[in-house]
Amino acid sequence: MGNSATRMDLTSHGLTNLGTQHWDLGSALLTEHAIRRGEARLSAHGAVVVSTGEHTGRSPKDKFIVRDGATESTVNWGSINQPIDRSQFDAMHARVQAYYHGRDAFVLNCYAGADPDHRLKVRVVTETAWQNLFARNMFIRPPAEDLPGFEPDFTILHAPGLTARGERDGVRSSTFILVDFDRRMILIGGTSYAGEIKKSIFGILNYLLPERGVMPMHCSANVGPKGDSAIFFGLSGTGKTTLSADGSRTLIGDDEHGWSENGIFNFEGGCYAKVIKLSQEAEPEIWAASHRFGTVLENVVMDPVTRMLNLDSAELTENTRACYPIDYIANTSTTGMAGHPVNVVMLTADAFGVLPPISKLTPEQAMYHFLSGYTARVAGTEKGVTEPQATFSTCFGAPFMPRHPSVYGEMLRERIARHGATCWLVNTGWSGGRAGAGGERMKIAYTRAMVRAALDGTLSGAPVQDDGHFGLLVPESCPNVPTEVLRPRGAWSDGAAYDTTAGELRGRFVENFKPFEAFVDDSVKAAGVRRAA
């Protein structure tokens, strides 16, 4: 059994009559099990290649939270945070327990949170070896001396082969992600997409940490040679991973962080990068990490004979992913922590193609755009999304925020004011037209140049001009970026069509922000987008 020890058992989670229990295995053993069990194939470079079947993205509409005395008044109930009765949770828990009878279980004890003052102890129980390897890559691995007597603060019971019965089980479909804050347990089933594991823990931290005075953030982060840290807000596909993996700066993390009284800290120990059409030239760090032993590749097409990867293929999904330990990226932080951010960057993939590629925000504009969370759902990131769709996701992470957006928004405003961070809005989306109707995706080389100029201070005092539609202050020039790229109207062949489209988007901003007006002061309202005349 190797180190598939029985030094612990799962009876405290209601799991009995199991097959072999594999506890805290390393990458090599998990890879061997995944291959032997037929769960995965090995690429020519040693990465584990898997298919997640029907579900190639998250299923946010299938997430439910137990409604009880504690969550009744603290969870922002609605279409994102849907309630379920404890009796229904218990019934599904019983089904998961029965499902595991006679099955092997792979168990990982890990941390979520690099800051010892604020970390969460997590136990992940999976029925497959590859999904345990995914969790091992994504979370922080405790030193061996911390494992004896490890008692989790939260436990995930992962049963992708178990399907729910829709309304009969109190849920919407065959997929379920159920959270019980009182029992400190998460049940996941009916989907093999491993991203549900990492995002479920993110949701837990988003609920718990504000009570401890820590702001949870859906962002990547890095730090410069002078200790100047930066955070990058954005939804999946907007460039958080790509832009934070900059060889000239030290990577702290690519997706989830906290901002405490000590500074910022990574929630995770790994990266989960989109790799569709990944370029070795444009993104060498991520490309190299995707071709290493220990990496998990989800839905990446591979030649069945040579085992060479075809990262350009979207045959299975646009949302192809690589999951690897963060130290697979050169120049990563050894602590996962840094000081208070000097720059706050908000990334948006504008599917309308009308926002400037970079603009400097006042603190009030930063609050407005953080609560608005405008971006595009990128193809494949969520089930059923097959092409870019304009959307507003408050705090750049609405599907993961259990509390009211104003809680997170106020925490951001307070921290920006206290620490004097400079804020930027960066459009990594389209220019010259709408997505799918003449627009082209912003060149990564230009975006990198603009972000570097913002972070190194080049753009801080540069002359700016109003963009003419959204009240955004756009630098008049930027090193290594053609001037015409900074002028979104000029990129359109038809200026009148640009004006019409920009007016349409302005109207969407206004309508979307109405529910937040009661939670912000007049200065934020005045800084917001106004409907076109």
Respond yes or no: is residue 501 known to be catalytic: no
Q: Provide the 8-state DSSP code for 315.
A: S
Respond yes or no: is residue 441 known to be catalytic: no
Cβ atoms 99, 17 nearer than 8 A: no
Cβ atoms 159, 128 nearer than 8 A: no
CA distance 529 to 369: 9
Task: Identify any residues that bridge with 389 across adjacent strands, giving them in sequence order.
Answer: 377
405 by DSSP, 3-state: which? helix
Respond yes or no: is residue 241 known to be catalytic: yes
Catalytic residue among 22, 218, 434, 506: 218
Task: Compute CA 353 distance to the chain's CA centroid, rounded to the nearest angstrom.
Answer: 23
Pairing of strands 176-180, 263-266: unpaired
Cβ atoms 295, 48 nearer than 8 A: yes
CA atoms within 13 A on the CB side of 427: 25
Respond yes or no: is residue 236 known to be catalytic: yes
Catalytic residue among 55, 118, 199, 413: 199
Cβ atoms 229, 249 nearer than 8 A: no
Respond yes or no: is residue 218 known to be catalytic: yes
Task: Identify any residues that bridge with 424 across adjacent strands, giving them in sequence order.
Answer: 345, 360
Catalytic residue among 55, 58, 95, 249: 58
CA distance 233 to 259: 13
Catalytic residue among 56, 200, 241, 422: 241
Catalytic residue among 61, 198, 240, 448: 240
Respond yes or no: is residue 292 known to be catalytic: no
363 by DSSP, 3-state: which? helix
Catalytic residue among 123, 321, 377, 506: 321
Respond yes or no: is residue 274 known to be catalytic: no
CA distance 435 to 22: 47
Catalytic residue among 180, 255, 350, 467: 255
497 by DSSP, 3-state: which? helix
Catalytically active residues, by annotation: 58, 199, 218, 236, 240-241, 255, 321
